[in-house]
Amino acid sequence: MTTKVPVLTIDGPGGAGKGTISSLVAERLGWHLLDSGALYRLTAQAAVKHGVSLENEAALASIAASLDVEFPVEDGLPCTLLEGEDVGRAIRTEQAGERASKVAALPQVRSALLQRQRDFCQAPGLVADGRDMGTVVFPDAPLKIFLTASAEERARRRYLQLQEAGVDASLSSLLKEIQARDARDTQRSVAPLKPADDAITLDTTRLSIPEVVDRLTELLAQRGMADGI
């Protein structure tokens, strides 16, 4: 896999800040954004909608290969449409995340979504957010970042997010869910969660979002990938 368009991959476990950081960096650069996790969440969402078991690998792969998905911007805000229905909120719940993690462990599903992810690589550049962006999807990316944070800090962040949204949650339960998801993601047989050999690991436990964005911008500039920012 060789990319002529500049690609920044940002991998890491859930709650490390990948989504927020990736979208901010993409916005600053004026680059495209690939939220690969959304594709797995959407596959799981479509399966539930059509009554397909999350253990039926062949059926799930078929769903992944033919996902009817759009990411339009409406009234200045990004939307996620599945078969014409806005599912932006539905795919961001804890339950949706658990389903996506299970679906993402299936080799046939990952294979079905591989080319779809690579198709996001378009000029002027791409910020790819996920768990195997630097190891599998874009192995030739000139800059690969592995964002991480302690499980306790990631649970705390999620707890605060849910509180702000008016959703009741248990901090201890969130921690257990994060630890279980980490184990599943790192131990799966295909494309396990791990830093690429040439990735730069950045621990965000004690860093603010602006600090992380600034650090990534510096790294891009040092490699001549982000002139003028």
Tens-digit pLDDT profile for residues 24-63:
999 899 999 999 999 999 999 999 999 999 999 999 999 9
* Binding-site entries for ATP: 12-20
* pLDDT(162) > 80: yes
| φ, ψ of residue 217 in degrees (nearest 5) | -60, -40
Task: Using a pLDDT cut of 90, give the percent of the chain over it.
Answer: 72
Structure tokens at 119: 């198709």
Mean pLDDT of 85-98: 91
What digits encode the pLDDT tens for the residues 130-149? 999 999 999 999 999 999 99
For the annotated binding site, the residues are 12-20
pLDDT surpasses 70 at 14:
yes
State the pTM of this model. 0.86
Q: In what order do the strands lie in the sheet with 85-86?
A: 69-70, 81-82, 85-86
The average pLDDT across 182-187 equals 91
DSSP state of 14: T
Q: Which residue has the higher pLDDT, 109 or 76?
A: 109
Rounded mean pLDDT, 104-129: 93
Q: How confident is the model at residue 93 (pLDDT cuts 50, 70, 90)?
A: confident
- Domains of the chain and any CATH numbers: 7-220 (3.40.50.300)
Mean pLDDT of 219-223: 93
At residue 3, the pLDDT reads 52
Looking at the predicted structure, is the pLDDT value of residue 74 above 90? no
Q: What angle do CA 95, 96, 101 make, to 5 degrees?
A: 100
- Work out the mean pLDDT of the chain and round it to a whole number: 91
Query: CB burial class (10 A; 0-12, 13-18, 19+) of residue 156?
Result: middle
Look at residue 91 and tell me whether its pLDDT is greater than 60: yes
